[in-house]
């Protein structure tokens, strides 16, 4: 068993599950979406992006692209959260929370694509 692949797979699945956990819940209810969970999702996604930097294959390029998309959307969600709470002080209104959760949903889709590609590549290499 290759420890490097185990660690890589672990972080890809962790990013997916954390993102799903943040996304799940009433879209407009801030009580269903924790800021610390969003921070954890961003951190793990950035770790996954760094882990994907070394792969020079075509599939590696697509995996890196999915990570960059997820990072961009999650960082955008964090910026919206920060602006709403600390800069404009409007708070987490239903409109603001919907935007944050929607961006997280886009990142979730990118993470699902990444996990599907990872599993597909694993299955192809096993044959």
103 alpha carbon, distance to own chain's centre = 10
Mean pLDDT over residues 33-55, rounded?
Answer: 94
Instruction: Note the pLDDT of residue 5.
Output: 87
CA distance 45 to 19: 9
Q: Answer whether residue 126 shows pLDDT above 80.
A: no
Instruction: Note the pLDDT of residue 127.
Output: 66
Name the domain count of the chain.
1
Instruction: Note the pLDDT of residue 125.
Output: 80
Q: Which domain holds residue 118?
A: 3-126
Confidence of residue 56 (pLDDT cuts 50, 70, 90): confident
Cα dist from 87 to 65, 82, 83, 84, 101, whole Å: 31, 7, 5, 6, 19
């Amino acid at each position: 068993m290759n420890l490097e692949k185990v660690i890589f797979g672990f972080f890809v699945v962790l990013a997916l599950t954390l993102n799903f956990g943040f996304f799940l819940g009433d879209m407009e209810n801030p009580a269903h979406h924790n800021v610390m969970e969003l921070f954890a999702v961003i951190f793990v996604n950035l770790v996954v992006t760094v882990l994907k930097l070394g792969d020079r294959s075509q599939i590696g390029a697509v995996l890196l692209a999915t990570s960059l998309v997820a990072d961009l959307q999650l960082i955008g969600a964090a910026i919206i959260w920060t602006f709403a709470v600390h800069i404009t002080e409007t708070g987490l209104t239903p409109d603001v929370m919907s935007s944050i959760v929607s961006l997280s949903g886009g990142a979730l889709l990118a993470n699902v694509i990444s996990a599907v590609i990872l599993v597909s590549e694993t299955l192809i290499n096993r044959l």
